[in-house]
Amino acid sequence: MAIYRLSNSNQMQTFPVSNIFIDKYMPQANATFVKVYLYGLRHCFSGNNEIDNKQVAKDLNILESDVVNAWIYWESVGAIKLIRSNNTDDFDIEFIDLPSAEQEKQKKVSRIVLDSRPNYSPEEISIYIEQDENIRYMYNVAQEKLGKMLSSSDISILYSLYDWLRLPVEVIVMLIEYCVSINKRNMRYIEKVAIHWADEGINTVDKVEQHLMQIEEKRSKLYAIKKCFGITDRQLTSTEENYILQWTDKMKFDMEMIAKAYELTILNTGKLSFPYLNSILQSWHEKGITTVTEVEKEKKQYKENNKEKYKNHASSKDIKRSNKFINFKQTKYNFEEIEKIALQKRLSELKEGDVK
């Protein structure tokens, strides 16, 4: 059984819940997951530094698997950290200071956005285009890929990617090609992606290729699993995507194992349930089961163990029946003795009557 240790030096009768959790994290989360988070946070601040999933489930009147799924979910969205101890059944839970984390995130995202983008006059940009062959090439490719004549605003934004964000021309060309490939031709969108790349240090051809490969791998995984689950009429939710990325990236399960877990989920529940499916994969992950063959082996072993238990149970019943039979024979034997005694008594009484 997993034991979670929470630490906080202050024992308080109340505990703080950040506005960011209420405004940003709670609306996107399953209600049960919110209960688990608040329960854990409460114990963190009350000085009760050891809890286990069974106790959490009992106190909240939910399934133990829901507790496990909740911790995994909150880790996936960055609200907590799960730190495995030397004992593999124990975890340390670190509750993230959400306001501080959000401030850091905003600083990172808006580091460039907060700086005002320079204003370039059409005359100034014309001079750069005339003097720099690479810039001319960038504009020609942009017009060709976007399939339109660039407006003065488009030209200014495009030049800012080179001058303000310091992205090389070849990176900007790759950026435009990527945005066109996902049918995003608006220059404002292209600028947004460029700012993200600059923030993340994606500023060379090799880094762009690696980044795009990761995006494509993620998209392929999500598409394949979505198809396997028969989801054809909607997009995956962020929670569902987090589940899938946990299975593929953290637990390292391949498509065959996920499909097997999906099959068992449908068999046992009659519907697609991401939490139930996750509990199956989580169980396999903890047991080190990584192939369908190992799943079938465990299933076979489980049946054999149950069969052995049934035999032992049946054998115990037979022994009880045997004891009852023995007791019945003993009772019959006693009855015959009583009859003999009664017969002898009657004969004696008859003899006494004859004498009289």
Q: Is residue 335 part of a domain?
A: no
Residue 148, domain member (yes or no): yes
323 falls within a domain: no
49 and 93 share one domain: yes
Domain that holds residue 253: 212-290
DSSP of 267-285? HHHSS--HHHHHHHHHHHH
What is the count of structural domains for the chain?
3
Q: Percentage of the chain with pLDDT > 90? A: 44
CA–CA distances in Å: residue 42 to residues 1, 27, 69, 145, 196: 21, 20, 19, 55, 36
Mean pLDDT of 264-271: 93
Query: Helix, strand, or coil here: 313?
Result: helix
Tell me, yes or no, whether 53 and 93 share the same domain: yes
The pLDDT value given to residue 24: 84
**Amino acid symbol at 313:** H
- Whether residue 181 has pLDDT greater than 90: yes
The per-residue pLDDT for 353 is: 55
The residue among 258, 290, 322 that closes a domain is: 290
How large a percentage of the chain has pLDDT more than 70?
76
Angle at 328 between CA 322 and CA 329, to 5 degrees: 95
205 within 8 A of 175, measured Cβ to Cβ: no
For the cut 80, the answer to whether the pLDDT of residue 234 exceeds it is yes
Better-predicted residue by pLDDT, 45 or 139: 139
- pLDDT over 50 at 322, yes or no: no
Q: What is the pLDDT of residues 85-122, one digit of tens each?
A: 655 556 778 888 888 877 776 555 445 554 567 888 88
Which domain-ending residue is among 150, 175, 203?
A: 203
Q: Are 191 and 242 found together in one domain?
A: no
